A and B are shown apart, each in its own frame.
Chain A
């Protein structure tokens, strides 16, 4: 039996924004990991660039991308504590390049759609 769940406007926004970000996060991670990072440094760097990713999302995602062959990792034990460093694999870089193209195209399309809606709104309003 289907149960309709009543959500407030903010809850809807949070839920859908999370879904919107989910795909983008993978692209951001693959792109950033052209250079080697460990989990915390990657999270910090993305946060500094304006993409704040929850720990519970980012760290398991790194393991999943690695298990899919898109990332490679190694433990480096020469620092103050052992750290697992990740880097995009060749496959990951190739997939990242494809995704980047998809993103640019999608971004253009979305700009058009959103601008069009705005123009439509203006027209309706005028």
Chain B
């Protein structure tokens, strides 16, 4: 019956959250009815073999899930939605942190009059809103592209599908296809921008009543660090594509992924020790000074957190699978 549970889980994963549990319960019941009826009618083969044959008839989970919602097209669909929300939350949190740090730093700086405060607050708020909107717009664009690619993939009939291809029940070893595709598209986009259009990496600033875009990162950053980062980001894109084929984590792939997360941070930290990370004009942008001054410390904290997270994930993957077995009972 584990095969049936895996099938039900896979169909459910592709359905909207609303009503998902109900469809899963009904599908489980229908599959078990079909298998038991065949056994009662003397179908040859073991229960596992009959289950496999029944699932084969039900077809690929993607096709069945699509039948439950035949006319729905999403900008960001159920498969990607949780990854989308995570990305939105992360980016908004980082931008809000920079914004609040700027206000906090301004409190102890030279802003004494109400007029100074007013214009500082207005300009840094406008900066914050602009960068948030631009970043969120970019995230929506990337996810919409991935959704489009995945939708086409989902509705394409898969004649080679076989129940043996169903992923394992939820575990720490299971990969998230949506997350990997987002990593590949996002990584390729970052490589493209940093190497082809570095001028896009900037912030808007209002100076003498005029909005201008000023570069965010230093020339040394682009000349000395970007080539190394490009190598690591490319390795990361290739590695994510490899994982898409592998369909599950093991200790080796998890270690490589964590290494590919830590190395760019470590390279940036080492670079920032002896080189200017930001362009000199950035200090003129309201709210950016504290980021520039404390960036080295922030990088170090981020690096330490990533290393600690990496150790935790490695321990999880190294622990026997039984430790995470889902308590969900088979129907």
Contact = CB atoms under 8 A, between A and B. Distances in A.
B29 A60 contact: no
A83 B57 contact: no
A55 B29 CA distance: 13
B154 to A, nearest CB: 13
Contacts of A75: 25
B67 A83 contact: no
Given A40-B37, A81-B331, A59 B59 contact: no
Contacts of B161: none
Contacts of A83: 29, 33
B29 A56 contact: no
B23 to A, nearest CB: 7
Contact of A39 (B30, B63, B70): B30
Nearest to A44: B37
B29 A81 contact: yes
A115 to B, nearest CB: 36
Interface residues of A, number: 15
Given A55-B57, A81-B32, A83-B29, A60 B67 contact: yes
B34 interface: yes
Interface in B36-90: 37, 57-59, 63-64, 67-68, 70
B30 A40 contact: yes
B17 to A, nearest CB: 16
Contact of B25 (A40, A44, A57, A82): A82
Contacts of B331: 81
Contacts of B70: 60
B157 to A, nearest CB: 11
B279 interface: no
A56 B63 contact: yes
Nearest to A57: B67
A47 B70 CA distance: 24
B32 A60 contact: no
B26 A84 contact: yes
Given A81-B32, A82-B25, A83-B29, A60 B58 contact: no
B317 interface: no
B310 interface: no
B67 A84 contact: no
Contact of B33 (A40, A57, A60): A40
A18 to B, nearest CB: 13
A59 B25 contact: no
Interface in A2-58: 38-40, 44, 55-57
A107 to B, nearest CB: 27
B71 to A, nearest CB: 10
A60 B30 contact: no
A62 to B, nearest CB: 9
11 contacts: A38-B29, A39-B26, A40-B37, A55-B30, A55-B57, A56-B58, A59-B30, A60-B67, A60-B68, A60-B70, A81-B331
Interface of B: 23, 25-27, 29-30, 32-34, 37, 57-59, 63-64, 67-68, 70, 331
Given A38-B33, A40-B34, A56-B67, 14 more contacts: A38-B30, A39-B33, A44-B37, A55-B30, A55-B58, A56-B63, A59-B26, A60-B67, A63-B68, A81-B29, A82-B25, A83-B33, A84-B25, A84-B26
